[in-house]
Structure 1
């Protein structure tokens, strides 16, 4: 068994095979000089919308901006509540607060650690404007049950697919089911840019046009010198869009590599290490490989000593973070899981030997 270190994610390796294509794309952008919103951006937007089974995509600065732009575009703001699972990256909550709305945290399902549709239903009140379903770890939420809740109450369903490029539920792609979807292309994502970038994807072309204008300083559709919306600056760089188009071509293959690694984990992990479940209708893309363990500190120490990377997604549920204590709820499932969750190395080009090495270390420390 190899004793070589196992990185949590080796981005140099992930991007290395594409270096020549990246350099050619960079040269093209240097040649035309349209560094922001150039032809590469429109090309990627069209490709990504089609990939997501959607009608439109709007490139923006990052995934957090994408969520903020969606909420702003829908007119959600002061006086509104938005239901958010407490198990998510803090950006989901930031977006709600930055438009002046109030987050309403709800608990998650104990097997997938994704939003609990019954908890979301119970949290709806007269001020509720939307539910944000966070497709965490690379798995989409239970679309059937969440849409049943939002349709029953006549509220918006927004997808946060920052970790789920290419994921499906019952054959439907992330980005195709909500009124709009926020994507992140942070370098470590399944579809990662060579920098910070994001996108809004939607079936509503009028909403897409409005969001595009908001993201470009609220410019009028009639003249770039007029501003008839309160806007902001969140536009995609041409060179990043070019790189994303290159990477999109291999996304399904890369996701298949992640799935192979995950299946091997499930087969070889010791019984004391419990993988997070995948819904029977879900085709997950395994952005991170999340398991639950007891004595996590001891396990992490053993992984460190063996040169095996690890992460925590997430150690502190959002409703317990110090900046958000005013919104604190009692959410027992996510609070208990936060003490046990552990993210193992995951990469599209992870080898069988690397997965086996991780499992060997875990067997040694968990018995």
Structure 2
């Protein structure tokens, strides 16, 4: 059975993470993704190591975001390279790019220039701060945007803890969210094009995305006028919903409603807490967290993690361990769901990759090929899509325009 995006062709001019994360998802869904890279440097993340895969030059960072693509090495700063990209655009449904605002206009590869040769083109631009506004010309990186966009003001131990400071999330979450917003926006534009025949220019800003995914915390501020503060592992709107130290480690207790709190108190041997008027409801527990949490902390520290995990699981109280990544990939549920996959590597053997989490009709959605080598598919793609220029490609290769 064909995958959902079979027949859709993406010309991917993006690099680093947000754009490639988007196009990897589209490739997993069946789209043909042509990754255009500089003939000498390629995607920056190719060199973001160690670690590297085996004895190759494939950095793990690059491998994480480029499965299922064809790498075509073209120097877009060269006039003949620009002509080649324009010819490819006419064979594609979507162009994805993350150059600085105006960066592609000097090459004639901006939206206005390409729309003139393909009116129904879907063109997705990812930048740090958007196509307009006082910060439009600034470069944007995930870490900067986690800070500027408010996430780091919510992440880390409270101000009252000695030595505490704002902390970024351990993965580039702003880039990843932006990549997924880009993917859903491209899919929406494809549906619109099928209905109206019109293309679209999608303008995505890392800052906009970071503010947009502040979710309940942003709404907490808009509702009260008071900026939320760092709470460590605690939740601003639910108690108890945080990590607790046990007799031999830490676990997460995630009590989502009053019934679960009652069951927790039964397991912990303190049923009177569930009847205390201060703690009977979640609103009361939030209001009185400063007295409740120390009591719960003392109780949790009295037993080892295995006791709490098994007893609370049996009682239907949400809880779980705090796993490192070795434990994650050893977890029987993670293994059952096939979240570690292997793909043949061009250097021989196989490369381990993280699976796309989406399933369609019980089928995992993962592209069949490993992330490509730099320029691995240049000849194949160009000769397939532009056969009339085949004789010209040898000249371009000698001039260093393609690799």
Fold agreement, TM-score > 0.5: no
TM-score of the superposition, structure 1-length normalised? 0.28
TM-score of the superposition, structure 2-length normalised? 0.26
Higher-Rg structure is 2
Higher relative contact order at CA 8 Å, sep ≥6: structure 1 or structure 2? 1
